[in-house]
Amino acid sequence: MKLICSKSNLLSGVQIVSKAVPNKTTMSILECILIDATGRNIKLIANDMELGIETIIEGDIVEKGQIALDAKIFLDIVRKLPDNQVVLETDKSFKTNIVCEKAKFTIIGKSGEDFSYLPSIEKIDHIIISQFTLKEVVRQTIFSISDNDNNKLMTGELFDINGDTLKVVSLDGHRISIRKIGLKNSYPSKKVVVPGKTLNEISKILSGDADKDVSIFFTGKHIVFEFDKTTVVSRLIEGEYFRIDQMLSSDYETKVTIHKREFLECIDRATLLVKEGDKKPIIINITDGVLELKINSTIGSMNEEIDITKQGKDLMIGFNPKFMIDALRVIDDELIDVYLVNPKAPCFIKDATENYIYLILPVNFTTVN
Amino acid sequence: MKLICSKSNLLSGVQIVSKAVPNKTTMSILECILIDATGRNIKLIANDMELGIETIIEGDIVEKGQIALDAKIFLDIVRKLPDNQVVLETDKSFKTNIVCEKAKFTIIGKSGEDFSYLPSIEKIDHIIISQFTLKEVVRQTIFSISDNDNNKLMTGELFDINGDTLKVVSLDGHRISIRKIGLKNSYPSKKVVVPGKTLNEISKILSGDADKDVSIFFTGKHIVFEFDKTTVVSRLIEGEYFRIDQMLSSDYETKVTIHKREFLECIDRATLLVKEGDKKPIIINITDGVLELKINSTIGSMNEEIDITKQGKDLMIGFNPKFMIDALRVIDDELIDVYLVNPKAPCFIKDATENYIYLILPVNFTTVN
């Protein structure tokens, strides 16, 4: 095989597919990137059996062929090459020369025949959204998946398509994040659970460009994302997702309208007094026009008052500050509405049209002072 | 005690003195910053017994007094306060209220009487250099001190004042770094060895401003740096520094003039093939007009040629690539001169006026291929 391409094209391609290379594996072929120049295009492929990424890079195929190269070493080498044309040439013993200007690297690759290609997926059902929207919706929900494998479904996100709406849901037993996205077209109903890891990796690859689209295809077992010259194939998590509708109630006893940034900075300050691993709650006391936030720990104490607009009853309630911070960080509104019932019932942060809903369970607290 | 000052003044002061707070200590008072408002100014002081820093911040003293506060917690709190006036108030039980806008923190401090003040130094001998120059000279030499305490003198840098020249020297047994600085005035001869830790910390505080000066005072056991509103006092390392003059020879067999950036990037690429902890040398082969750099490792091999101007004999010599990279990174010249004798003798990188001299010992290598 002999290829010529620019360093920058090669680098961006290798960076993209490297996202599907596992950090640790016993199968050394999975640590490789396949460079496939057997057809018309130069394809780079990586595949950890759950998640596979393929991308096409521009360049000239002087001699057809394929080679599997250790992803980490190959990425390191390409990254440090001079910014010029790169010639990549292999021989029958898989010796690979990488030449750029006067620099010449030689590494030993593996036969491409041992490599497991991406599963071929029948592309029928699909939706189209912008790269920006997909990247945003993942950022706005991914924090509330569970990293505990005990309940596999909690490690993924529900993608629920219904007519012209895509609803993305994540939950970890303490909180639920829901985002609704309007689609340009109407699609048949479909519910799939996408692994959190896949969404995290795809977020890193997406340009976040609002003018560029992603096509998302679904099959029974896989989801495929196509954008730019890249295809990402991931297994789905099997099983029926949690019924969240019954957890969402629109009844409330107290409604608070508060400046998001003030509230966030105030909670952020309070967490200074919480040592890592310590599960100290913040205590929020809601009265007419004022929300008072209190925390007491072995380090010291803090209290602060924030002006609010309140409807309904006074209330004192405790929260894990991290859960509040996570939700507040991904809300763009300047003023937000918080709906509460009592110190034992979940609180809701949502906008009027329910384009976002963040449900957070309160924690018990013992009143001190 | 009761003080009023701006958050930004307080923050920059606390950040400066925090550099002298030890990470781990059995004496909890050393983990504190002393806020001393017993006199006319608000002073912040930290002192780990080797290195002490004192700085004055602007603000109003409403009620005189002093308090020692845990440095880490206090810094965290100040950093997250709103950007406004801060009121700091203590009572007799060392309870300290930190109030800013509607946020109120309460932490428990310690009596300032337990705090060890900076040693008072008789300020006689001193030199003046710019903050920029001091920061630069430390950056350009600090990498070749030893982090091994076995030979205490190697963990510091020699400050050698002679007439209107300051010579700064560091060495670790494998290499020597020397920088000469011209002083505006002439001073009596003086040689002291300053701990590397002191120089590292002071570098972080110095603004790097070429228009602002640092006064450096010496006593038998201490060095004092005065700049802006900050005083840094450090113990000196006792003992006689190594006689480096006899290691410096101006004889050479081969002189190479090379583009610094090309050389650096080439060595940088070669180190990709060296696993961490592996002591693989790079092999440099010098012939007329060309320097060829080679490396062979379990990962693969690399070679690259660089155009040079050569005087004298051909030579093949091996180096620890890290030592070369460290020296090349801190040289600003575009073209550099490298002086060599034979594969067993040290190489010198120096400019014509010897404002900088970097000596690097070669390593043995077995010629492969």
Residue B96 has pLDDT above 90, yes or no: yes
Q: What is the pLDDT of residue A252?
A: 96
Strands of the B254-259 sheet, one edge to the other = B156-171, B175-195, B356-360, B347-350, B335-340, B254-259, B309-312
**Which of B75, B91, B62 is closest to B2 using CA atoms?**
B62
Query: What average pLDDT does chain B have?
Result: 94
Average pLDDT over residues B150-154: 94
Can you give the pLDDT at residue A116? 83
Q: What is the ipTM of this complex?
A: 0.86
Contact A300 B108 (CB under 8 A): yes
Distance from first CA to last CA of chain A, Å, rounded? 76
Domains and CATH numbers, chain A: 2-114 (3.10.150.10), 126-245 (3.10.150.10), 248-360 (3.10.150.10)
Query: Cβ contact (<8 Å) for A106 and B301?
Result: yes
**pLDDT at position B368 over 80:** no
Band (B369; pLDDT cuts 50, 70, 90): very low
What is the three-state SS of chain B?
CEEEEEHHHHHHHHHHHHCCCCCCCCCHHHHEEEEEECCCCEEEEEECCCEEEEEEECCEEEECEEEEEEHHHHHHHHHHCCCCEEEEEECCCCEEEEEECCEEEEEECECHHHCCCCCCCCCCCEEEEEHHHHHHHHHCCHHHCCCCCCCHHHHEEEEEEEEEEEEEEEECCCEEEEEEEEEEEEEEEEEEEEEHHHHHHHHHHCCCCCCCEEEEEECCCEEEEEECCEEEEEECCCCCCCCCHHHCCCCCCEEEEEEHHHHHHHHHHHHHHCCCCCCCCEEEEEECCEEEEEEECCCEEEEEEEECEEEECCEEEEECHHHHHHHHHCCCCCEEEEEECCCCCCEEEECCCCCEEEEECCECCCCCC
B269 touches chain A (CB under 8 A): yes
* Beta-carbon separation of B76 and A266 below 8 A: no
Q: What is the mean pLDDT of each run of 10 residues along chain A (369 residues)?
A: 97 97 86 96 94 97 97 96 97 96 95 87 87 97 93 96 96 97 93 97 94 93 95 96 91 97 96 83 96 93 96 96 96 97 96 97 75
Torsion of CA A56, A58, A61, A65, to 10 degrees: -20
- A11, A74, A269, A273, best to mutate vs chain B, most B CBs in 10 Å: A269
Whether the CB of A289 is below 8 Å from some CB of chain B: the reply is no
Answer whether A186's CB lies under 8 Å from A164's CB.
Answer: yes
Query: The tokens 């690297």 sit on which residue?
Result: A105
Residue B366 above 80 pLDDT? no
How close, in Å, is residue B259 to chain A by CA atoms? 14
CB contact under 8 A, A305 and B268: no
Q: What is the mean pLDDT of residues B295-322?
A: 95
**CB proximity B174 to A under 8 Å:** no
Distance, in Å, from the CA atom of A16 to the CA atom of A35, rounded to the nearest integer, reads: 13
Q: Which residues of A touch B302 (CB under 8 A)?
A: 103-106
Q: What is the pLDDT of residues B325-358, one digit of tens each?
A: 999 999 999 999 999 999 999 999 999 999 999 9
Cα(A287)–Cα(A266) distance, rounded to whole angstroms? 17
Whether the Cβ atoms of residue A187 and residue A127 lie closer than 8 Å to each other: yes
Does the distance separating the beta carbons of A266 and B77 come in below 8 Å? Answer: no
**Cα nearest neighbour of B262 on chain A:** A82
CA-CA distance, A233 to A249, in Å (whole number)? Answer: 36
A contact test, residue of B86, B272, B274 with most A CBs within 10 A = B272
Chain A nearest-CA distance from B295, in A, is 10
Q: pLDDT at residue B367 above 70?
A: no
- Contact assignment for B304 to A102 by CB distance below 8 Å: yes
Query: Range with the lowest mean pLDDT among A267-281, B55-69, B183-197?
Result: A267-281
Q: Rounded to a whole number, what is the distance in Å from the CA of A194 to chain B's nearest CA?
A: 36
Rounded to a whole number, what is the distance in Å from the CA of B164 to chain A's nearest CA? 43
CA angle A319, A323, A329 (to 5 degrees): 125
Question: Any CB–CB contact under 8 A between B342 and chain A?
Answer: no
Contact list in A for residue B305 (CB cut-off 8 A) is: 102
pLDDT for position B183 = 94
pLDDT for A276: 76
Q: What is the pLDDT of residue A369?
A: 43
Query: Which residue in the set B103, B105, B269 is minimally distant from A80, CB to CB?
Result: B269
B80 → closest Cβ in A73, A108, A268: A268
The tens digit of pLDDT for each residue in B243-283 reads: 999 889 889 999 999 999 999 999 999 999 988 777 789 99
State the residue for tokens 């993608």. Answer: A159
Tell whether B285 is within 8 A of chain A (Cβ). Answer: no
* Cβ distance of A106 and B265 shorter than 8 Å: no
pLDDT tier for residue B300 given thresholds of 50, 70 and 90: very high
Of A275 and B37, the one with more pLDDT = B37
pLDDT at A145: 97
Maximal C-alpha separation, chain A: 79
**Is any Cβ of chain B less than 8 angstroms from the Cβ of A123?**
no
| Partner-chain contact A269 B103, CB within 8 Å | yes
